[in-house]
Every structure is written in C-alpha cells, then in structure tokens.
Amino acid sequence: MTTADAVMDLIEQFEAEADRDRSPEATPDVGIVMGSDSDLDVMAGTEESPGAYDALTELGFEELTDYDDPPESRFTFETFVVSAHRTPELMYAYAETAEARGLDVIIAGAGGKSADLPNMTASLAYPLPVVGVPVQEKSVSSVIGMPTGAPIVAVDAGKSFNAALSAVQVLAREHDDLRDRLVEYHDALQEDVGDVSRRLHESGTPTFQGRE
C-alpha cells in the first residue's frame, strides 16, 4: 500500500517538528484528533452544542495553525483529522511524535462501531495521557474497552467539552494559571445555578415558565 502525498506531507511535518527544539511556549499543549471531518461538530462543538474547541477557548487557549507562527496565548491546541483505518501510518506518526512535539495531552475522538483512533492513539502515545471521545453512542464500548495495563481516560458519547476540561485538569497540575481558570469556570457555573434558582423561586413557576 502506498501512502498518499498529502498524508506523507503531514507525517514528514510531524517528524520534523519532533526533531525541532521549540520552547514549550511555542508548541501546542493539547492535541485534538478525530477520525473524520464529519466528527468536527461533535469534537469542536457548535453554537447549539459546545465542544472541546469552546471549552479550550473559554479557558484562554488559542488554536495553533502554524508551528512557525504560534498564537500569543501561552496555552494552545492543534486540530487534525487522523483516520485509524484509512490512514494508519498517519495515526502512528501523530501519536508517536506527540510527546516530542511538545504536546502534554491528547483528545481523540471517533465514531462508528470500530472507533479505534482513541484507544490506538492512547497505546501509541503512552505515557502521554489520552482523553477519548466516543463521537456516537455506538462508539462507547470500543473507546473505553481497553485491556488492563493499557489506559485511556474517556468521556460519555459526544462529551468533547468535558474531554477538554479533563485535558486542562491534567495541565493544571503544572500550571497554576490554568488551575485558577478552572476554579473560576466552576464558580461561574455555581453562580448560574444560584441565579436561576432564585429567579424560579421568586417569580413562581408559571411566570418562570412563561405560562402567563
């Protein structure tokens, strides 16, 4: 089997980046990979249903799209499509170079019944932590079903937003800034529940529901 030029280019880019000695400030901290661009709405999120992109940007991360020209934010992420079955060499190259390219944690999502990208990426990138996202309900067992000794952290189907929070929790062990941002995020969630609870109680159910 030959490897298509576009895939070879990406593999060479990953290998070249792994050989470079960029500072941690210039390399992406989180890698997002998915089996198909049809997974993007679940993995990145949409206006109606926020995902990993939304969680990361809310916490101050910026997307790195050019290794030679990283964004200003100290914390960044990169996004790629890597198919476990259609581009196995790309999956190997992505996962095996991840640590040397400066990534600290990977979020990997795939759909279908054979959602192998997250668990294979976890095995190949080990000891880098991988958070798996089953893109569909039917993908859950293939993402979480790892044998003893081969770890993966995983979220429920479609919960890429939580996968990003978990990824930032990993990074926050090393970066107090991120710890503070996670605490602020959680405080804001509590505030929202408190506000809605008071409004419901004080306006009464029919007004709150808009029945009158």
Site residues, ligand RP5 (CB under 6 A): 35-36, 38-39, 83-86, 110-112, 114, 117, 135
Our CB check for ligand RP5 shows the closer of 10 and 172 to be 10
Among 192, 190, 194, 189, smallest CA distance to 58 is for 189
CB of 35 to ligand RP5, least distance (A): 2
Q: CA-CA distance, 55 to 165, in Å (whole number)?
A: 7
By beta-carbon proximity to ligand RP5, the closer residue of 34 and 172 is: 34
Work out how close the CB of 62 gets to ligand RP5 at its nearest, in angstroms, rounded to a whole number.
25
For residue 112, the minimal CB distance to ligand RP5 (Å) is 4
Count Cβ atoms below 10 Å from residue 91 Cβ, excluding itself: 23
Give, for 199, the enclosing helix (H) or strand (E). Answer: helix 176-203
User: Which residue's CB is nearer to ligand RP5, number 33 or number 164?
Assistant: 33
For residue 37, with 0-12 CB atoms within 10 Å meaning exposed, 13-18 middle and 19 or more buried, which class applies?
Answer: exposed
**Chain centre distance of CA 161:** 8
C-beta of 38 vs 141, nearer to ligand RP5: 38
3-state secondary structure of 76: strand
CB of 137 to ligand RP5, least distance (A): 12
Compute the least distance from the CB of residue 109 to ligand RP5, in Å. Answer: 7
Strands (E), 51-152: 62-63, 76-81, 105-110, 130-134
Neighbour order of strands in the sheet with 62-63: 62-63, 76-81, 30-34, 105-110, 130-134, 153-154
Which residue of this chain has its Cβ atom nearest to ligand RP5 in the complex? 35
CB of 134 to ligand RP5, least distance (A): 10
In the complex with ligand RP5, which residue's Cβ is closer, 143 or 171? 143
Q: Which is nearer to ligand RP5, 102 or 109 (CB)?
A: 109
